[in-house]
Amino acid sequence: MSRRDNCHDNAVTGSFFQLLKRERIKRRTYIDREEARRDVFDYIEMFYSPRRCHGYNGRLSPVEFERRHFERLKSV
C-alpha cells in the first residue's frame, strides 16, 4: 500500500480498477456476489489480458507481451 508522499505505489492497480469500473461494472446491477465475481473474472480473462492493448507494453495485450518475452528468453 502507498504511504503518505509516496503516491505512485498503487498507480497500476488504481488504473486497472478505474478501467474495470468504467468499462464493465459502472451501469450493471448484479443479482448476487457470485454473478459479480463471474462477470469480473470474464472481463479479466476474456478481454483485459488477451485482447486489451496497453501503452506501456508497446500497444500489446498482456498475453502477447508475455508470449514475446518468453520467446526472447528461449532464444538467448
1 in any annotated domain = no
pLDDT per position as a tens digit, 16-37: 899 899 989 988 999 999 999 9
Q: Which residues pair with 54 in a beta bridge?
A: 60
32 in any annotated domain = yes
Question: CA–CA separation, 58 vs 23, rounded Å?
Answer: 21
Segments forming the whole domain that contains residue 54: 11-75
Residue 59 Ramachandran class (φ > 0 left, ψ -120 to 50 alpha, else beta):
left
Note the pLDDT of residue 8.
Answer: 62
**pTM score > 0.85 for this model?**
no
17 in any annotated domain = yes
Note the pLDDT of residue 9.
Answer: 62
71 in any annotated domain = yes
5 in any annotated domain = no
Number of domains, the chain: 1
Q: Are 40 and 46 in contact (CB under 8 A)?
A: no
